[in-house]
Amino acid sequence: MADELFTIGAAFGVQSAFGTVNATVRDLAGAIGVTDGIVLGDRESGDAESGITIPDLERVFREVADVGLTKQHSTRIRDAINGFAIAFQLKGNGSASTPLAGEGKPDAGIDALLQAAGLVGANGTAPVYAYTPGSTAVYLTAKLWLGDLSFVFQDCLADLEIPFTGGEIGVASAAIAAGSITVAADGVTFPTFTYGNQSSLSAPNVEAVGHAWGTTRPFSDLTLSIANAIEDIPDSNAATGIRKDQTGRIITATGTIWVDTADSDFAYQEAIKTVAPTAEESFQVGTIAGPAATLNAYLVSLSNPGTHRVKYDRLGGQLVATVELRAEDPVAGGEFTLTYN
């Protein structure tokens, strides 16, 4: 026998609707690049230093009666795809700002993952491209190559988590809830991947980011989480009889923030408010691109987050507050913005 070498890659693209596979992603082969939806993983995440967590493909079944003490073959109902994820470094697309409208839009596969996590992108002042929470679920198709195998997953939604630590880079992890396997193939020729700026451009460090909440105050660590309530709903017309559906969303920022002597009880006062908060939380990672500059920066903003937990602690010799902030806003979709600039 001949052993199969380990090779891995993944691509993502949005679907026009639930149940409609993205045929472009499904049929990808040969030489492919970032415009085709490929995403380069973060080496320190996922399986086999790939940034991709390979899913468990689990048989969902119904038992038939034993014959004596002997188990009989169970009835297969469908496959469940569990644990599929990809982690990628958060950075700009690396192009030179002209500037043109939407020039800061990230590569196609990253855009698809952000949309599947519930974010809708739109042009801002050139070359800015900004994502805000959407009102409807957007499904994506994913293709995963493993050696000479390939799997196409359709009707996928995602949760997103991005930890930020001072002196490090932001790495986004998309946990993908896959609906069904629409194609599984053997004997596939592994494609040639060209990742462009995803492989050649360093992500900006979390340094001098000007983090502000009420006033400018640094954080030691801060984790942004977009948790979509994704449920399995019986659907007789779906490919597996089950539909992945989004029924809610919570966006939180949890982290350790320095206490400012000018307003030491700020976090506590925010937590006990009986009116809607008005203090924006925001920070800018990397330098905003001017004309002809490399697009490699982003801004995170929670418009007026609610404080849901406060715990005071020591970090070095400083008093800090570990807080849980929840993105809230009276206007739908106004609670959060991720801006590529």
pLDDT for residue 310 is more than 90: yes
Query: Does some domain include residue 2?
Result: no
* Cβ atoms 159, 175 nearer than 8 A: yes
305, two tokens: 């987050």
Residue 8 CA neighbour count, 13 Å, CB half? 16
Residue 162 CA neighbour count, 13 Å, CB half? 20
**Residues with Cβ within 8 Å of residue 213, at least 6 apart in sequence:** 257, 266, 279, 280, 281, 305, 325
Distance of CA 79 to the CA centre of its chain: 24
Percent of the chain predicted with pLDDT > 70: 100
Distance of CA 73 to the CA centre of its chain: 39
Nearest-angstrom CA–CA distance, 33 and 18: 26
Number of domains in the chain: 1
Mean pLDDT computed over every residue of the chain: 96
pLDDT for residue 245 is more than 80: yes
Nearest-angstrom CA–CA distance, 24 and 330: 39
Give the CA dihedral 332, 335, 338, 339, nearest 10 degrees.
Answer: 80
Query: Does some domain include residue 29?
Result: yes
Query: Does some domain include residue 105?
Result: yes
Query: Does some domain include residue 183?
Result: yes
pLDDT of residue 1: 66
Token pair 């995803």 is at which residue?
Answer: 198
pLDDT of residue 60: 87
Q: Residue 56 is part of which domain span?
A: 8-61+77-340
Nearest-angstrom CA–CA distance, 195 and 99: 23
Query: Does some domain include residue 272?
Result: yes
Selection from 271, 246, 268, 250 nearest residue 259 by Cα: 268
For the stretch 110-164, pLDDT in tens is: 999 999 999 999 999 999 999 999 998 899 999 999 999 999 999 999 999 999 9
**How much is the CA Rg of the chain, to the nearest whole Å?**
22
Give me the sheet containing 119-123, strands edge to edge.
Answer: 119-123, 129-133, 336-340, 298-302, 281-285, 212-213, 215-216
Query: Does some domain include residue 154?
Result: yes
Q: How confident is the model at residue 61 (pLDDT cuts 50, 70, 90)?
A: confident
pTM: 0.96
pLDDT of residue 215: 94
Query: Does some domain include residue 69?
Result: no
Q: How confident is the model at residue 78 (pLDDT cuts 50, 70, 90)?
A: confident
For the stretch 268-302, pLDDT in tens is: 999 999 999 999 999 999 999 999 999 999 999 99
pLDDT for residue 195 is more than 90: yes
For the stretch 16-56, pLDDT in tens is: 999 999 999 999 999 999 999 999 999 999 999 999 999 99
Query: Does some domain include residue 68?
Result: no
Q: How confident is the model at residue 77 (pLDDT cuts 50, 70, 90)?
A: confident
3-class DSSP string for the chain: CCCCCCCEEEEEEECCCCCCCCHHHHCCCCEEEHHHCECCCCCCCCCCCCCEECCEEEEEEECCCCECCECCCCEEEEEEEECCEEEEECCCCCCECCCCCCCCCCCHHHHHHHHHCCEEEEECCCCCEEEEECCCCCCEEEEEEECCEEEEEEEEEEEEEEEEECCCECEEEEEEECCEEEEEECCCCCCEEECCHHHHCCCCECCCCCCEECEECCEEEEEEEEEEEEEEEECCCCCCCEEEEEEEEEEEEEEEEECCHHHCCHHHHHHCCCCCCCCCEEEEECCCCCCCCECCCEEEEECCCEEEEEEEEEECCEEEEEEEEECCCCCCCCCEEEEEC
